[in-house]
Structure 1
Amino acid sequence: MTPLDQLHVFNAMHASPNARLELSAHLGDGLAAALWHNRDDARDYQAPSHHTLSCYIDDGTGTFRRQRPADKGAPDKLCILPAGHESNWVINGTIRVAHLYVSEAQYALGCVRLLDREPRELQLQEATFTDDPQQARRFRQLIQLGWDEPAERLLASSLAHEVVDHALLSQVGVRDGLRLKGGLAPNLRRQLIDYIEAHLAQPLTLGELAVRCNLSEYHFARMFRTSFGLPPHQYLLARRLQRACQLLRLGDTPLGDVAMACGFASASHFTNRFRQALGATPGEYRRAFSR
């Protein structure tokens, strides 16, 4: 994922002389989190390239959006700041707020996996000071974990995925007035998803997937990215890693067998890819969830 200091919302907070960063960490899979304390401040967010989900932990009763001064924050209030949005905030008094930063790629994967829709069809809807006790509880559990400790960071990553999935299922709507051009036909997209899921253990190639859609590799790659929001190799790797996580959490299958079942050429290749994505080895991941 993009380094934290290149994430717009994180950087806007970090640039404030009044804001204090208590915790921050990359959680793998295009997710990062931060816990902030701020006071008597004003912050503007201009078209970030990532989504931000936030929960007020303490105080915040003097916080409002400049265009909506009557609506004030409070502990456990939730906000959703989609990629590309613009907002201006005023903080009177103090606030302690948790942020979860979500990459566009992770958002795209969620749209396909959870909603069976093309990411370009959908919009994560902006929300300010909403109530959702279950989601607030997840945020509070998240900030209690030790993000610097590998096993607890993995648990935090799992919890962050729950937060994102909940937001996708409850706060995503169809874009208004959208006319789709290019991309794969819906029936082809669904067939492709089913085929990939059924053949994750096999060494799938771009050519093999393109043939199933009667397209050249070049045109298939372009149309796949248009429909899925990310390139074929990135989608395939994400699905293989997700399958691996499921196998690691559900049993004691030898790591070499997990690697083969998920289409990795070797246990070492599997370990390297897993560590790059999640910041831990498969063995560390299994141990974290077997406690």
Structure 2
Amino acid sequence: MDARRDGITVLGGPRAHASEAGLVEVWRARCEAGARGDYVSLDPRLFIVLEPLAADIALDAGAGRVASRAVSASYVPAGAPVRLSVDFATDVRHLDVHFDPRRIGPLDGPSSGRAQEPRLMFADGRVQRFARLLDAASRNPIAVSSLYGDGLVAALVAAALSPAGDISRRSALSDRQLKLAIDYIEELCAEPIRLQDLAQLTGLSETYFSHAFKAATGMPPHRWQLEARVRRAKTLLAEGDMSLIDVAITTGFSDQPHFTRVFKRFTGLTPLAWRAERRNGAPPTPD
């Protein structure tokens, strides 16, 4: 990230988490009246304001200033310059997510054209929910270093790049209920997980839980579990020489062909090709 600031003071170092999914940083900064900041990131970037501000901040990515003092999210494509400016003093606490789409894998919903256009200061309840959970996880080194954090990053990126019309109008899970459900799925992803167990965990009926989970995350619980299995498989593929059939069994797939089909659907690569590119040090590219 190339950053040039005038009148902006960073208040302490950021809490940071780097993984296969991307780089997540939580910052707090003080902006004096008239402050300016110019930023260019080599990777696509999400800038998410976590708390309401005392005064408007404005972002400009070349198509005019967009200003707000509310919690909001902004997406800036790789290499696109963006300017932050304020007319009046305010502190800002925000989440920055830098990611490589090739490492996260193909995402449902977003179009390639959407990923090339800046989207500034928009309100999205699903994005804010994932941002809050990542913010909370970053306070706990064990939680954020786990696959739980990677799942939140992938879900956050998918939600931010999805068209607004994809957002469900149904009642979503609370942050507490969602964290309970995601923790449970991530921990036991290789095991059969019944909808009944997740519903009981959150104190809801099976039907209500299923709808509320999808409203909160944009996907059904089974989809989250499959993605969690793929993330765990990536770790096993990267760390050692475990055979593909052993990786498949360890991560809960019925057999190696099933594992290969699901892995390629979520990453664009077969497990063998992903492992080879990962060890070569280059970002995986789809087959």
**TM-score under structure 2 normalisation?**
0.50
Q: Which has the higher helix share?
A: 1
**TM-score under structure 1 normalisation?**
0.49
